[in-house]
Chains A and B, each alone.
Chain A
Amino acid sequence: GDSVTQMEGPVTLSEEAFLTINCTYTATGYPSLFWYVQYPGEGLQLLLKATKADDKGSNKGFEATYRKETTSFHLEKGSVQVSDSAVYFCALRSGGSNYKLTFGKGTLLTVNP
């Protein structure tokens, strides 16, 4: 079945540091890939997405590239801010699962001033 594996946290960085959160997946067909962010006390919000190989999703300075050859969708940001502190979830929707998103377990990011 479909599955998503993301690096375990927590991740603690200083402001303006470079961020990478690794995400790899197993899926049937050609999945669409997503990153969601959850700020404390809130629901998940879509951060970015990519629907086919080599697509790059980007939003708010975050980027992720759909790499079919390595089945990966790593999240990156060049310079994090304190306000980026949140839990980040990688997710996929495969062609065999029209309705459902499969989520990774989430990575807690804390950015210190």
Chain B
Amino acid sequence: NAGVTQTPKFQVLKTGQSMTLQCAQDMNHNSMYWYRQDPGMGLRLIYYSASEGTTDKGEVPNGYNVSRLNKREFSLRLESAAPSQTSVYFCASSEALFTGQTYGYTFGSGTRLTVV
């Protein structure tokens, strides 16, 4: 099925460990995003990539890095995990910009990360 695929679905890390969350979309979307979802906070944008080859910080980028590997893939890396990074992480993608139309996002099913 077409859509956004995230791996892994669940992960437990120890404080200080590193890991990379993977995201891939097969809809030929230009823009991709990483959000985190925390109780009572809604969704907060970590990083986004407007198009292949570009990345920009969102609201809460500290402690994270991203790579737009190609048009399909956008990974999120935690270099030294902290308990404050315990959250559910969502990747999303959207159509190209400046098309005169308004598109919503397509979301992946999320990665539930616990840092102990």
Contacts and interface: CB of A to CB of B under 8 A. Distances in A.
Interface of A: 32, 34, 36, 41-46, 49, 51, 89, 93, 98-101, 103-106
A100 B40 contact: no
Interface of B: 4, 31, 33, 40-43, 45, 48, 50, 58, 90, 92, 94, 97-98, 102, 104-110
Given A42-B109, A98-B97, A99-B48, A49 B104 contact: yes
Given A45-B107, A49-B104, A105-B40, 7 more contacts: A51-B102, A89-B43, A99-B31, A99-B50, A100-B33, A100-B45, A100-B48
A36 B48 contact: no
A82 to B, nearest CB: 22
Contacts, number: 50
Nearest to B88: A43
Given A49-B104, A93-B102, A103-B43, A43 B48 contact: no
Which of B92, B98, B105 has most chain A Cβ within 10 Å?
B105
B42 A101 contact: no
Nearest to B9: A41
Given A45-B107, A98-B97, A106 B102 contact: no
Nearest to B50: A99
B103 to A, nearest CB: 9
